[in-house]
Structure 1
Amino acid sequence: MLDGLKNAARKASRDHALRGLLIDCKRLLSERGEANSVTIARDLVTRFAALPDDQQGSFFERLSRDFSPDPQAVLQSAQAYADEPNASNLVRLTHLAEPPRQELLRRINRLPGGTSSIVAMRRALLGRVAKQPELQALEADFLHLLSSWFNPGFLQLQRVDWNSPAQLLEQIIRHEAVHEIDGWDDLRRRLQPDRRCFAFFHPQLPDEPLIFVEVALLPAMPASIAPLIDKRAEPLRANQFKVAAFYSISNCQPGLKGVSLGNFLIKRVAEELKREMPQLKTFCTLSPIPGFARWLRAGALCEGLPKSRAERLDAARAVVLDACGQDLDRIASVAALRALVPDVMQALTRLAAFYLGVHAAANGGDPVARFHLDNGARLERLNPLADLSAKGVKQSFGMMVNYLYDLQKVESHHEQFTRGEVAQSRALASML
């Protein structure tokens, strides 16, 4: 009985906290609330952060339901605009169609530290949208506003080096998402003179990197990742720098998922490096292919292929399956991949060419490929046995890819990709 009373008391306390938070939201949107917005917004943010996880979910549900546009008012205004499409009616329709919660978020954003609070709120929201589709409109409002507040005109590009604040260096280690940084010695090597690290910052989050990219300065386009992240490797001399290879890009703010940052970052960094080192002639990546093994295991399907191409795809898949006795797990190890005869490795490479050169343009294509191709890069070269880490073997049977960033052609390549076409080198196109 005592436990039941305690549970009831806790529930009543949580319900009271949620009601208080919703009252703060309404106060903030009122005329009086606008005049006292900083104080009310601070209370609101504090109340939200103190809510338990299930109550945060309830708050999002109420925000989605109670702070939406009035359907009847929108309908009447839309009819008025349809009858008389003048500027006055359009302004009224636009005003009524905007959810009140967008203005609520704007007023929270005026609070010192408000931008960071909204990013944190969206992070909490994103974990729920898949299971609660009724929150999709609320998520769209967050994304709409954050995309405006974090557009490239507001972002500041900074180089990260060994003399950067320790707090920033710690965040680089923590947020590296592609090739794990093994402590301070590893980070120090990645910041030597033949390496570069650049990050985007926002004025409202001056101590929080949004996204960063790591670059290797090399004599030639790289064919494997191990030499680039070997913390014992000797730095190259500046007169050897001819290629800038982007080998890792990591997002630091989960609450900004879907906000375009990386595409602008790579182009800005390429332009910055070109100004610093005019001798650089090639800008490329050495990128993972995280969906390749999963696609191959699922049947290596490419829709809409001409008959001749479909036959080449099927033949390559048959060669690989025959070599592993119809069990792809048998080649999912470093020893097995190294032991593959040239014909089988060539077939595996051809399958990767189909995956990136055809399947990447389809919905559900490889996310890394879609990022670079939509960003205007060209599919340049496939590299077998390029990533023999456990992750690389599992995700792509050790395969990696170079994307080429021709700064004079990124716009045309981007347009090509929007039409469902993949810009690629002749060598890779000949494999299809």
Structure 2
Amino acid sequence: MNTSFFGELLQTISDRGRALLARGDRRTDASARSESLVELCEDLLSGRGEASGVALAREILGRYAELTTGPRIAFFEALARRFGTDPARVDKAIAAWQAKPSDATAADLHVASEPRRQELFRRLNLAPGGTASLVRMREQLMDVLAHRDDLKSIDEDFVHLFTSWFNRGFLVLRHIDWSTPALILEKIIRYEAVHEIHDWEDLRRRIDPPDRRCYAFFHPALNDEPLIFVEVALTREIPPGIGPILATTRETVEPDKMRTAVFYSISNCQRGLAGVSFGNFLIKQVVEEVSREMPKLNTFVTLSPVTSFASWLKRERAAESSIALSEADKTALAALDTPGWWQDAEKAEALKEPMMRAAAYYYVRAKNGRGAPLDAVARFHLGNGARLERINYLADTSDKAMKQAHGFMVNYLYVLDDIEKNHEAYAEGRTVVASNQVQRLVRPSLELVPVAG
């Protein structure tokens, strides 16, 4: 008998048993930690003293920061289950309103219908660094939302509160240059979401020359954390592509020849604030700032990426019946399936006309289920009062741009006198204000026919 074999087998079984017991202990410990945190939250809601509340909020956020994924999810589950609306309190408030309708009973009903989570988040926000901690908490919640519909009510409460806390009136616009503290410059490199900043020299090329600017919006509660930043190129004319702007070697435009401000990159920095509107007219504020500094500028445009044109076009090409594409268009667009088609001058030229028509339709007519443009960048700029000015073919041939947009970029024009009018047209009727040049690209016979995305 091989005693060594059986000894090793028993040792393996013993080790696995201890591991299972330890895992069970960890699960119990995780549950205990999240439950302990929930009890502290109950204490925070029941307390009245502000000083003790600040200390308790600090302790809760500190303990939360130490949680791993499992205990965090258990904490979110408790927030959804135990910190929602109190039905008995709502019933009582409804009865009071029905018995005696008044401003006072309506206010009581409003308060009663609010989930307890919202007041909990307000009190947690009193802790030092509370706002940043809650933004981070929402970011971690977003990581699990795709698989947990039962937690969406928590996310809705975060969005509701953040929309008030990050009102545009609280935001501060700062000019970012080479003298800005390195801590902030590092974040500009890290958060750039449109055109990657490769290194410090690349950053310097974007913010240091006299024909380049960068502006960032900050919130007083988030020290040295930009919320949004905008990169600006000062040029002679409206550029049709991103290449010359990002070129490592280029001729600097002299100040007396600068006539156009090009907003070529707008990056949202805080993922935990995704979907939270900072208000409209953010770009208008940047336009006004640039105008004060450079009075000779008379044109303010973006050079914007296109986020989902390629996927939309793929669906339209595959559709048995497409409102946007004719059969001739589908036949011509088959060349898109050829790898590297844009590097073949003849193929690229043959594709230009049907591609421009398709892109114009995508921008002017294609809508989502809420009646808004499919393109997220379009929704942002139209909501900020811009006009869709020009569609640029093969304006960005980077791998990312070719995959997302077949190389398209667009110019949105900001005319200060028209911004509010354009914003109202979009806000009230989801009207896409577009130049005649763009409108003419849309097939005349299809101009008035919307398409759902």
User: Hey, what does 1:390 align to over in structure 2?
Assistant: 399
SS in 2 for 1:299: helix
> Offset of 1:360 from its aligned partner?
4.8
User: Hey, what does 2:386 align to over in structure 1?
Assistant: 377
User: Hey, what does 1:320 align to over in structure 2?
Assistant: 332
User: Hey, what does 2:151 align to over in structure 1?
Assistant: 135
User: Hey, what does 1:427 align to over in structure 2?
Assistant: 437
Farther off after superposition, 230-239 or 256-265: 256-265
Which one-letter code corresponds to 1:149 in the other structure? W
- Alpha-carbon distance in structure 2 between the residues aligned to 1:253 and 1:413: 28
User: Hey, what does 1:294 align to over in structure 2?
Assistant: 311
After superposition, give the CA deviation of every residue in 1:42-78 in whole Å (9 maximum; x if it has no partner). 1101111111112111111111110112113213312
User: Is the counterpart of residue 58 in structure 1 residue 74 in structure 2?
Assistant: yes
Farther off after superposition, 41-50 or 362-371: 362-371
Go from structure 1 to structure 2 and tell me whether the alpha carbon gap of 1:101 and 1:341 turns closer, same or farther (over 3 Å shift). closer
> Offset of 1:270 from its aligned partner?
0.4
- Alpha-carbon distance in structure 1 between the residues aligned to 2:51 and 2:35: 22
User: Hey, what does 1:154 align to over in structure 2?
Assistant: 170
Farther off after superposition, 2-11 or 148-157: 2-11
Go from structure 1 to structure 2 and tell me whether the alpha carbon gap of 1:378 and 1:319 turns closer, same or farther (over 3 Å shift). farther
- Alpha-carbon distance in structure 2 between the residues aligned to 1:354 and 1:319: 18
CA RMSD of aligned residues (A): 2.1
SS in 1 for 2:441: coil
Q: Which runs of structure 2 are paired with 1:193-208 in the superposition (5 Å)?
A: 193-208=210-225
User: Hey, what does 1:356 align to over in structure 2?
Assistant: 363
User: Hey, what does 2:337 align to over in structure 1?
Assistant: 329
User: Is the counterpart of residue 41 in structure 1 residue 57 in structure 2?
Assistant: yes
- Alpha-carbon distance in structure 2 between the residues aligned to 1:78 and 1:240: 67
- Alpha-carbon distance in structure 2 between the residues aligned to 1:158 and 1:374: 23
> Offset of 1:193 from its aligned partner?
1.1
Q: Which runs of structure 2 are paired with 1:225-240 in the superposition (5 Å)?
A: 225-240=242-257
After superposition, give the CA deviation of every residue in 1:177-220 in whole Å (9 maximum; x if it has no partner). 00011211111110111011000111111211111010111100
- Alpha-carbon distance in structure 1 between the residues aligned to 2:404 and 2:190: 22
2:184 counterpart (158, 168, 175): 168
Go from structure 1 to structure 2 and tell me whether the alpha carbon gap of 1:153 and 1:130 turns closer, same or farther (over 3 Å shift). same
> Offset of 1:150 from its aligned partner?
0.9
- Alpha-carbon distance in structure 1 between the residues aligned to 2:348 and 2:225: 48
1:400 counterpart (392, 402, 409): 409
- Alpha-carbon distance in structure 1 between the residues aligned to 2:70 and 2:381: 38
Q: Please report the TM-score for the alignment, with normalisation by the length of structure 2.
A: 0.88
After superposition, give the CA deviation of every residue in 1:7-48 in whole Å (9 maximum; x if it has no partner). 122122212211110111011111256441122111101111
- Alpha-carbon distance in structure 1 between the residues aligned to 2:317 and 2:223: 45
Go from structure 1 to structure 2 and tell me whether the alpha carbon gap of 1:152 and 1:258 turns closer, same or farther (over 3 Å shift). same
Go from structure 1 to structure 2 and tell me whether the alpha carbon gap of 1:262 and 1:344 turns closer, same or farther (over 3 Å shift). farther
Asked whether the equivalents of residues 154 and 202 of structure 1 are also in contact (C-alpha less than 8 Å), the reply is yes
SS in 1 for 2:78: helix
Asked whether the equivalents of residues 47 and 53 of structure 2 are also in contact (C-alpha less than 8 Å), the reply is no
2:96 counterpart (67, 80, 84): 80
SS in 1 for 2:214: strand
User: Hey, what does 1:283 align to over in structure 2?
Assistant: 300
User: Hey, what does 1:14 align to over in structure 2?
Assistant: 30
Asked whether the equivalents of residues 372 and 379 of structure 2 are also in contact (C-alpha less than 8 Å), the reply is no
Which one-letter code corresponds to 2:185 in the other structure? L
Asked whether the equivalents of residues 302 and 412 of structure 2 are also in contact (C-alpha less than 8 Å), the reply is yes
Which one-letter code corresponds to 2:132 in the other structure? S
SS in 2 for 1:161: coil
User: Hey, what does 2:278 align to over in structure 1?
Assistant: 261
Gaps of 5+ in 1: none
* Greater C-alpha Rg: 2
Asked whether the equivalents of residues 224 and 383 of structure 1 are also in contact (C-alpha less than 8 Å), the reply is yes
- Alpha-carbon distance in structure 1 between the residues aligned to 2:330 and 2:147: 39
Which one-letter code corresponds to 2:80 in the other structure? S
- Alpha-carbon distance in structure 2 between the residues aligned to 1:43 and 1:220: 56
User: Hey, what does 1:5 align to over in structure 2?
Assistant: 21
- Alpha-carbon distance in structure 1 between the residues aligned to 2:143 and 2:20: 30
Asked whether the equivalents of residues 167 and 279 of structure 2 are also in contact (C-alpha less than 8 Å), the reply is no
- Alpha-carbon distance in structure 1 between the residues aligned to 2:168 and 2:333: 47
> Offset of 1:280 from its aligned partner?
1.0
After superposition, give the CA deviation of every residue in 1:103-140 in whole Å (9 maximum; x if it has no partner). 11111111111111111111111122232112222111
Asked whether the equivalents of residues 212 and 251 of structure 1 are also in contact (C-alpha less than 8 Å), the reply is yes
2:268 counterpart (248, 251, 268): 251
- Alpha-carbon distance in structure 1 between the residues aligned to 2:351 and 2:409: 17
> Offset of 1:347 from its aligned partner?
1.1
SS in 2 for 1:182: coil
Asked whether the equivalents of residues 30 and 70 of structure 2 are also in contact (C-alpha less than 8 Å), the reply is no
Go from structure 1 to structure 2 and tell me whether the alpha carbon gap of 1:261 and 1:320 turns closer, same or farther (over 3 Å shift). farther
User: Hey, what does 1:241 align to over in structure 2?
Assistant: 258
> Offset of 1:249 from its aligned partner?
0.6
SS in 2 for 1:430: helix
Identity %: 45
After superposition, give the CA deviation of every residue in 1:390-410 in whole Å (9 maximum; x if it has no partner). 111111111111111111112
